[in-house]
Chain A
Amino acid sequence: MDLSPEQMAARLGAFVAREAGLETQQVAIEGLRRLAGGSSREIWAFEACLSPREGERRLDLVLRRDPPGRDEGGRDLEFRVVSAAHEAGIPVPRPHYCCTDPEVLGTSFYLMDRVDGEALPRRLLRDDRYERTRRALVPQLAGILVQIHRIDPDQPELAGLPGGDARPGASPARDEIERVAEGIRVMAAEPHPVLELAVRWLRERVPERSRRTLVHGDYRVGNVLFDEDGVRSVLDWELAKVGDPVEDLGWLCTKAWRFGSPHAVGGVGSREELLSAYAYAGGDEVDPEHLRFWEAVGSYKVALVFIQQSWVYRTGRVRSLELASLGRRIAEAEDALLELMEESP
């Protein structure tokens, strides 16, 4: 379905009217525009002007959807996860309506409040105006994680989350490692001794016991909106799942998200600060070895992402300059893995 912006606005107007219990002519959609970012999802912004018989209100909204023709059907689950986070008092854009009917826009989508804020980690790390934000960031990110990990992953509203099957003997950590290893085996163009060594190191360290909670799945500085006072909003819940909460802490420490800074946590703080802030906010005491394991899984996954992007280029699927250059970044993930293996040989 290829819609012009005008057609898209008209359909959105009818959808919002239906959801809000209004007549179609009582809703006007204004300023519909596509926003940059959201590499695998399309993001649009617009204003919805609702004019019932009494009172008028304007909603500043963002629409998130799979690109046309690539409906992965997960928007409904993502919407339910964001709704649960919103109810738990976690700073997320307030979710409004979700639409799984492909007749409306071609792919499923949901609508949420538009939140102002900066999203570029490099500005966070370098601009003077974010000095206060940098100091507040580690405790804030840790506190929000504690709240996320307290959400009941077995509530009926979250049915269908990956990893939700709690069979005895199941190990989400082991499954994750083997999934990445298989991806590397299939797509890597050349042998990678560092990655061979890393996968053995990881298999040896799979945590025997871990808690089972809701996991954000992509918790890093690049996925939060911030301003001069700190975190405004946690975004990108599409990889949410049930698993080991330490995975979110480890991913937050993964070297790829430090943007050249020597500080482990998103380029602004240390692992020790993160773990003590997490415990202070009411989270579990986390063994640094357990954190190191998940940080290494993070860099192992980052290696696969670069291998995969280079593969997409090399096999001629997408001839993009950006993808072409990413294969050379595998070395950065290898460097991070070596560092972790040297610390704990």
Chain B
Amino acid sequence: MNDEPSAPDLLRAVERFLERDAVAGLDGVARFHARVAANVVAMVAREIETEAEHARREWEGLAALLGEEGALPETPALRREALARRNEALCERIRAGEADTGAMRGALLAHLRGTVADKLEVSFPPRERDAGKTGRA
């Protein structure tokens, strides 16, 4: 086990440095990129904190839609692979027209609403949406 500060805390220290010091000391394109960098490290911090929970929710949603059993792998990299496989299976069902109408459509829209909301929580949390930040690329 690594010592404190945790990885997200370290990333937030980098974010603070970029936002307060780097942005103030730079101009033009470099200043813009410092803002983008601050947003990127904050995004990574949020991903570290939420990845396991988001993956579990998406996995359970996919299991219900596809009627597939099986445990979600333990490591983030394997989780990504497993989720991508199930999402590809879901895409095949959609391409086959199985979600064009009926109960499957409603269930699918609800599932996708949840996974997109989770992705946005990482990439674009509500508190930033209207903050007027100019560093969002």
Contact in complex: B116, A190 (CB < 8 Å)? no
How many contacting A-B pairs (Cβ < 8 A)? 85
Interface bracket on B: 35 or more
Q: How far is B32's CA from A200's CA once the two chains are assembled, in angstroms?
A: 38
Q: Please report the C-alpha to C-alpha distance between residue A122 and residue B132 in the assembled complex, in whole angstroms.
A: 7
* 0/1 string, A84-128, CB within 8 A of B gives 1: 000000000000000000000000000000000000001000100
A326 contacts B137, C-beta separation under 8 Å: yes
Does residue B90 face the partner (Cβ distance < 8 Å to A)?
yes
Task: Select one of B88, B100, B116 contacting A331, CB under 8 A.
Answer: B116
The number of residues on chain A lying at the interface, defined by a beta carbon within 8 Å of a beta carbon of chain B, is 28
Contact with A along B29-46 (1 / 0, CB 8 A): 000110011011001000
Given A191-B90, A338-B109, A338-B116, A328 contacting B43 (CB threshold 8 A): yes
Q: B10 contacts the other chain (Cβ, under 8 Å)? A: no
- Closest Cβ neighbor of B106 among chain A residues: A345
Say yes or no: B36 contacts A331, CB within 8 Å. no
In the complex formed, the residue of A with least CB distance to B119 is A331
A332 at the interface (CB under 8 A from B): yes
In the complex the two chains form, is B33's CB within 8 Å of A322's CB? yes
Residues of A within 8 A of B36 (CB): 321-322, 325
Does chain A have a CB within 8 A of B130? Answer: yes
Q: Is the CB of B120 within 8 A of A332?
A: yes
A260: Cβ under 8 A from any B Cβ = yes
| A174-204 contact mask (Cβ, 8 Å, vs B): 1 or 0 | 0000000000000000111110110010000
**In the complex with contacts A196-B95, A332-B124, A126-B109 CB distance below 8 A:** no
A261 proximity list for chain B (CB < 8 A)? 130
Closest chain-A Cβ to B45's Cβ sits at a distance in Å of: 13
Measured between beta carbons, the chain A residues less than 8 angstroms from B99 are 197
- Alpha-carbon separation in the docked complex, A324 to B41 (Å): 12
Q: Mark A296-321, 1 if CB is under 8 A from B, else 0.
A: 00000000000000000000000001
Bound-state CA distance A340–B108 (Å) is: 15
Q: Given the known inter-chain contacts A193-B90, A196-B94, please indicate yes or no for A334 contacting B116, CB distance below 8 A.
A: yes
Chain B residues numbered 29-80 whose CB sits less than 8 Å from any CB in chain A: 32-33, 36-37, 39-40, 43
A335 interfacial contact with B, CB 8 Å = yes
Q: Give every chain A residue within 8 A of B87 (Cβ-Cβ).
A: 190-193
The answer to whether A190 and B124 touch (CB under 8 A), given A122-B132, A325-B39, A342-B109, is: no
Known contacts A196-B91, A196-B94, A329-B123; is-contact A321 B37 (Cβ 8 Å): yes
* Interface flag for A22 (CB, 8 Å): no
Interchain nearest-CB distance for B56 vs A (Å)? 18
Chain A residues near B6 (CB-CB < 8 A): none
Contacts of B39 in A (CB 8 A): 325
Tell me the complex Cα distance, A92–B87, Å. Answer: 47
Which A residues lie within 8 Å of B5 (CB)?
none
How far, in whole Å, are A334 and B87 apart by their CA atoms in the complex? 15
Once bound together, how far apart are the Cα atoms of A163 and B108, in whole Å?
36
Is the pair A325, B137 in contact by a Cβ cutoff of 8 Å? yes
Contact (Cβ within 8 A) A197 B123:
no
Residues of A within 8 A of B122 (CB): 328
Write the nearest CB–CB distance from A118 to chain B, whole angstroms.
14
Interface check B97, CB cutoff 8 A: yes
A57 to B120, CA, bound (A): 55
Q: Which 4 A-B pairs have the closest CB atoms?
A: A331-B119, A328-B123, A191-B87, A196-B94
Additional 5 contacts, C-beta under 8 A, given A190-B87, A332-B123, A334-B119:
A192-B91, A193-B91, A196-B95, A341-B109, A345-B105
